[in-house]
Amino acid sequence: MAENRVSAVLFVKDLRKVAAFYSTALEMRVVSSDEHHWLLNCAGFDLVVHQIPKHIADTIALERPPTPRVSGAVRLDYPVRSIAESRRTARALGGKIDDKPPEWADPNAKLFLGYDPEGNQFGVREHAG
């Protein structure tokens, strides 16, 4: 991870499942991984997916499907090559990308909201090329 750029840490109950979701559905490159962290990169942005310690993770109950956490203070938006392909992959991996943009979004922005297998909300935009 480069020391001179912004990164984010996402704390999760199931490291492998959530990291695989982001690397596959959102086309993030796996830079490194171990039993406690996966470092993912998207267009120069680093996302560290961090395993919550087992004694704490065991106290967290997740619903199936997960309840999206829409009241968080931060939402990360990611560029993807194909909204349709990312949507199919997200559903197969336990998350979701909405079929319609949010009502408040500029229709030309092509922004769609989604959530990962633990309910963490994100946005995706289709990029050209």
- Give the residue-averaged pLDDT of 74-81: 92
Per-position DSSP letters for 87-129, written without gaps between them: HHHHHHTT-EE-SS--TTS-GGG-EEEEE-TT-BEEEEEE---
Domain ranges of the chain: 7-53+68-126
Superfamily of domain 7-53+68-126: 2,3-Dihydroxybiphenyl 1,2-Dioxygenase, domain 1 (3.10.180.10)
pLDDT digits (tens, 9 = 90+) for 7-40: 899 999 999 999 999 999 999 999 999 999 999 9
pTM value is 0.86
